Amino acid sequence: MSRDETAGLRAAQLRLGRLPGYVRRPDPARRSGEQGHTYKKGWEVRFTARSEAEIAEIRDLVVAAGFAPARPFFKGHQLIQPVYGMAAVQAYLAARQAAEDQAARTAVGRERRTDDPTGPDPAASAAGAAAAAAELARRRAVEAFPAQLGRAAAADGRITTSEAGRTG
């Protein structure tokens, strides 16, 4: 892949983060239960649109980002463009995080350009520190995304057979 193609792919993936949408995750309790072999739901990103023209733009961006869009459908009064797979979910979450980081940097830049004759505001400093901590927590959540899959079974509170012998 040439450098221009890689740059275009990266730009398309970053634009995905600015699109309205949400992520659907599989239910670990249903997948690990007795009927887990019949539970077929997987990882999915659903982009939302209000018109067919918006769906066409979303489909073009999804293809440019290197993913295969599925057939769009209506849900309520919205058109939904699904994209299946864990790779699509990870790319969307990373792009969303990058878009939020860019928005935060832009907001901080605007705050720095305003001249405040009274000096720094303690409440604004505390709010900025809280926003920075929230951004760090979001970034860590995106980076730890694959690791969360292994912890999902432990998070639902069930005791495994290996733990049952230790609880006496």
* Structural domain contains residue 27: yes
pLDDT digits (tens, 9 = 90+) for 12-21: 666 777 788 8
Q: Give the phi and the psi of residue 43 in degrees, each rounded to 5.
A: -80, 140
What Rg value do the Cα atoms of the chain yield, rounded? 21
pLDDT given at position 77: 87
Contact residues for 29 (Cβ-Cβ < 8 A; gap 6+): 156
User: What region, left, alpha or beta, does residue 163 occupy, with left being phi > 0 and alpha being psi -120 to 50 degrees?
Assistant: alpha
* Domain of residue 59, residue span: 3-119+127-151
Burial tier of 90 (Cβ tally within 10 Å: 0-12, 13-18, 19+): middle
Q: How far apart (Å, rounded) are the C-alpha atoms in residues 84 and 67?
A: 9
Q: Which whole number is the average pLDDT over 55-84?
A: 90
- Provide the number of structural domains found in the chain: 1
Statement: the pTM of the whole predicted model exceeds 0.75:
no
- Residue 37 domain-assigned? yes
Q: Report if residue 166 sits inside a domain.
A: no
On whether residue 159 sits in a domain, the answer given is no
